[in-house]
Amino acid sequence: MSAKRKDLRQDTSGAVMVEFTAALTVFLLLLFGSVEFANVFYQWNAATKAVQWGARVAAVSDPVAANLTAFTGVENGTLPGVVLPSAAYDCVCKGSTSQCTGTMPASAPACNIGATGLAALQRIVYGVSGATSCGTSTSNRDMGMCHLFPGLTVQNVEVEYQYTGLGYAGRPGGPVPTITVRLHQRLTPSTVDANVLRFQFILIGGLMKIGNAAFPDFIDLPSFATTVTGEDLTATGS
């Protein structure tokens, strides 16, 4: 009996299989982790480029805040040519609600999106061809944000028009705002919002439950935004 126990203690058959299984697990974890990291990095870069492109298109397009097309700065008796007062206007337009909110001078049109503003937002997101969904881009000039970040829709995008000292009352080309294009963000950590863009993990997200309780396979994208100076705010020149 003691001889049999001694043989069992010295028996190493199957050790290679055990060692291989342990090493394979670590190798696959590193491999899948590398793939996930590369995929996340791609999504991060795509989101960055998308807001940069969207801001550039917005600078040479009709304003999403449609009220700015009628805003002259002389509504309160301000003389033409006079510099507009500080904080004269600030309109934030959200594709998720199809509304613009913010502040405008007294007697000036209130922040609103309207039909023309929605069309302007679609132009920023889907391209200058006037499409209402993300189709195939025939050239770089026709691209929208969705061509750089696949799956992006108008519901995921916010555009802000803010006065920061440029332009003057009665300017023939209209106001000269600074324009910020950003991706829609979650209002609170516990809010379930389908319009918030998220990193998508294709391999280990569901296994490791790296997201939140509502979306275990996803993590919200951070606040991607780009700010540029508006130009003529008209689609006819672009």
First to last CA, the chain: 92
The reply to whether 229 falls in a domain is yes
Q: Are 179 and 227 in contact (CB under 8 A)?
A: yes
The reply to whether 232 falls in a domain is yes
The reply to whether 178 falls in a domain is yes
Residue 88 domain boundaries: 16-237
The reply to whether 93 falls in a domain is yes
pLDDT tens for the chain, 238 residues long, are 555 555 656 666 667 777 878 888 888 888 887 888 888 889 899 999 999 999 999 999 999 999 999 898 887 778 888 888 767 899 999 999 999 999 998 888 999 999 999 999 999 999 988 888 898 877 777 899 999 998 899 999 999 999 988 888 888 888 899 999 999 876 666 666 778 887 777 766 555 555 555 555 567 788 899 999 998 788 765 5
Give me the number of domains the chain comprises.
1
The reply to whether 1 falls in a domain is no
Contacts for 190-194: CB closer than 8 Å, 24+ residues apart: 193/96
In the chain, beta strands by DSSP E: 90-94, 99-103, 157-162, 178-183, 198-200, 218-220, 225-229
Q: CA 28, CA 17: separation in Å to the nearest integer?
A: 16
Q: Looking at the whole model, is its pTM more than 0.95? A: no
The reply to whether 128 falls in a domain is yes
The reply to whether 132 falls in a domain is yes
The reply to whether 55 falls in a domain is yes
